[in-house]
Chains A and B, each alone.
Chain A
Amino acid sequence: MERSRTGHPDPLLLQAYADGELSTAEAGGLEAHLRGCAGCRAELTALQALLRQIGTVAEEPLRRDLSRPVEAALRRRQRLRTFPWVAAVELTAGLAVGSWAWPLAERSLRAILPVIQAASRAAANGVLTSWAADWEALQISIGQALRPDLPGLLPSLGLAQAAIMVAAGGAIWVSGNFLLLRRGAAR
């Protein structure tokens, strides 16, 4: 057993005993000394009382609920993790739709262009009556443009069908985003 210069056990040894850190042999040696030394017994009792006292420390109340900011941080992280997938799907879908829709858009632009030119002429001349004629021309042009002679798949596409197609595309985009993000949030 380690002894200090006073002949009593080293205080660190007494502490290790109180903490249950001594081997059986070391503890036995110390206990033999404690039986014959009132001073060391008192020191050990005081130390044990202090250890119990430390264990009674009060809890400081928390001033705010942490669950909301933690949940928000987790959801943000999950969205960030999902974002590349959403972006990839949207980009692919966009390219697919764009490659199919581009010829239609081109025809529409070609049809509208003369009308715009006519409109600017009309505005320049101040002849408002020409609008009626131009409007009729525009309708005819758009009708022709949206009825491309695509063989088989789309023999004829009217204005209403085009509108439905655009609306359906939008719905797919919105619901796709919703599903993907929701899946990400639940992960």
Chain B
Amino acid sequence: MLDSSDADLARHARQGMVEAYGELVRRHQTSVFNVCYRLLADLAEAEDMSQEAFVRAHRRLDTFDPERPFGPWIRRVAANLCLNRLQLKLTTQVGLEDEDDLPATDPPPGPEQIHEAHERSQAVRAAILSLPPHYRAVVELRHFHDLSYEEIARALRLPVSDVRSHLFRARRQLARRLTPDGTLSHGTS
């Protein structure tokens, strides 16, 4: 079981072997959890949604093509689930014109947190998590799922022009929070 490929495990899981699916979960749970965490910005909620994503994906295993990699498929299932969860927040956002001035859902990291983020990549994650949900969504789909503007627009049910401007503003906020060496810049939020 341990040395089986993802495709073989998916085939076994489709035939009803729960243990095979368990192995797929073990292999992909961290990346799926990180998708949920980047979108929801809440550890406990991200864990719950990751679990839910795996259970739901099992029901839809017949739509998975074993010729293609399992990782991106399951991450996309998790992203869709989290985006549905975020949909309310996305649709209740008002006044898109001045969104740069809107406070982020989570407070931006303060100087202490910044200094604690020793590693560059952790600083990037902290900056992404500090974005408002609709900005996190476009960043996630563009940077971690490699979707085009059109595909993001379809996934989020937004016009392409909104996707373009959300992405631009999200990146501008990230650029303000990150210095060129990858640490969060001070007093930019």
Contact = CB atoms under 8 A, between A and B. Distances in A.
B29 A66 contact: yes
A53 B178 contact: yes
B16 A186 contact: yes
B33 interface: yes
B167 interface: yes
A73 B21 CA distance: 12
Given A63-B43, A71-B21, A49 B50 contact: no
Interface string A43-80: 00011011101111111111111111111011100100
B182 A74 contact: no
A16 interface: yes
Interface in B38-60: 38, 43, 47, 50-51, 54-55, 58
B166 to A, nearest CB: 11
Contacts of B157: none
A56 B182 contact: yes
B21 A74 contact: yes
Nearest to B19: A71
B164 A55 contact: no
Contacts of B128: 54, 57
B174 A62 contact: no
Contacts of B19: 71
B136 to A, nearest CB: 12
B21 A50 contact: no
Nearest to B119: A58
B71 interface: no
Nearest to A47: B171
Interface string B115-147: 000011110110010000000000100110000
A182 to B, nearest CB: 11
Nearest to B148: A21
Interface string A161-187: 000000000000000000000000111
- Centre residue among B25, B26, B122, B180 by max chain A CB count within 10 A: B25
Contacts of A64: 47
B189 interface: no
Contacts of A56: 120-121, 124, 182
- Centre residue among A57, A62, A63, A187 by max chain B CB count within 10 A: A57
Q: How large is the interface on B (under 10, 10 to 19, 20 to 34, 35 or more residues)?
A: 35 or more
Interface in A67-119: 67-71, 73-75, 78
A143 B168 CA distance: 93
Contact of B168 (A11, A51, A53, A75): A11
Nearest to A18: B171
Contacts of A50: 171, 174-175, 178
Given A12-B164, A58-B119, A186 B174 contact: no
Given A15-B168, A50-B178, A58 B122 contact: yes
Contacts of A26: none
A57 B121 contact: yes
Contacts of A75: 18
B51 A70 contact: yes
B124 A16 contact: no
Contacts of B182: 53, 56
Given A15-B167, A15-B168, A74-B58, A54 B21 contact: no
A62 B47 contact: yes
7 contacts: A15-B164, A15-B171, A19-B149, A54-B171, A57-B38, A70-B21, A73-B51
Given A53-B124, A59-B30, A66-B29, 4 more contacts: A46-B180, A62-B29, A66-B47, A70-B51
